Amino acid sequence: MSLSPFCLKLDAFLRMTGIPHEAITTPAPFGGPKRKAPWIEHDGRTLGDSSFIIADLTERFGVDPDRGLSPAQRGQALAIQRLVEENLYWAMVHDRWRRPENALPMRKTILGGLPAPLRPLVQAMARRGVVAQLNGHGMGRHADAEIAAIARRDIEAISAMLGDGAWFFGDEPTLTDAVVFSLLANIHYPAFASPMKAMVAERPALVAFLERFRARFYP
């Protein structure tokens, strides 16, 4: 499973819809048109941004995991996606890059594709860039405890919306399930220290959701 939530979301979408693909891991995200991961190559085109890619593939392949949603549900789905990708994601980024106890695990995993002697240098440079992004977003300007409080509210909201249901919108998974899975799985499973781990772990329905998604799409 990818340690990038956006790559994992796209991969989950591809698995959900059965679109044949080959997933390639690169040590740096700068090869794509947006200079962020993921990007795809398809039919001689290179496309960046998980949401643009998904919209394009949905149309081209005539597959839409959200086809059964009402307009109101589509609105809720977008609101959940924005919460996850534009807010909670940054709390995860903060924990991974700014907590000193994650420096070594990051070197071994996310930077693990690089030659070992280069890792500390690349990590220091990447960290500077990530801190600038966090400050630009605004999340990085908060104290650890404030970021944890923001994350708690987001996780509580996600948990309340899922309730005891198997999936967010009924009996079959939709893109929202892939979006939520991609971030919460990245909090729950990898060995990075984060106060968010306990926030997920203490909600059995959320953990069951992650396991359900994993069993179905990542057996």
Ligand X SMILES: N[C@@H](CCC(=O)N[C@@H](CS)C(=O)NCC(=O)O)C(=O)O
String of contacts with ligand X for each residue 73-112, x by CB under 6 A: ----------------------------------------
The nearest distance, CB 72 to ligand X, in angstroms, is: 24
DSSP structure class, residue 62 = T
- Which residues make beta-bridge pairs with 39? 48
Exactly one of 42, 51, 56, 61 binds ligand X (CB under 6 A); that residue is 51
Using alpha carbons, list the distances in angstroms from residue 204 to 83, 172, 210: 21, 20, 10
Q: Is 67 left (phi over 0), alpha (psi -120 to 50) or beta?
A: alpha
User: Is 50 a residue that touches ligand X (CB under 6 A)?
Assistant: yes
Q: From CA 5, how far away is CA 33, in angstroms rounded?
A: 18
Minimum Å gap between C-beta 49 and ligand X is 4
Residue 49 near ligand X by CB under 6 A: yes
Give whichever of 49 and 66 is closer to ligand X, judged by the CB atom: 49
Of the candidates 15, 5, 192, 148, the one whose C-alpha atom is nearest the C-alpha of residue 81 is 5
Per the CB < 8 A criterion, the answer to whether 114 and 104 are in contact is: no
Q: Does 29 bind ligand X (CB under 6 A)?
A: yes
Q: Which of 185, 195, 169 is nearest to 79 (CA)?
A: 169
- CB of 93 closer than 8 Å to CB of 130: yes
Total residues interacting with ligand X, rule: CB under 6 A:
11
In the complex, minimum distance from the CB of residue 51 to ligand X, in angstroms, rounded to a whole number:
5
Q: Which is nearer to ligand X, 5 or 140 (CB)?
A: 5
The yes or no reply on residue 5 touching ligand X (CB under 6 A) is yes
Write the interaction track for ligand X spanning residues 150-179; mark x where CB under 6 A is met and - where it is not: ------------------------------
Residues that bind ligand X (CB under 6 A): 4-6, 29, 36-38, 49-51, 129
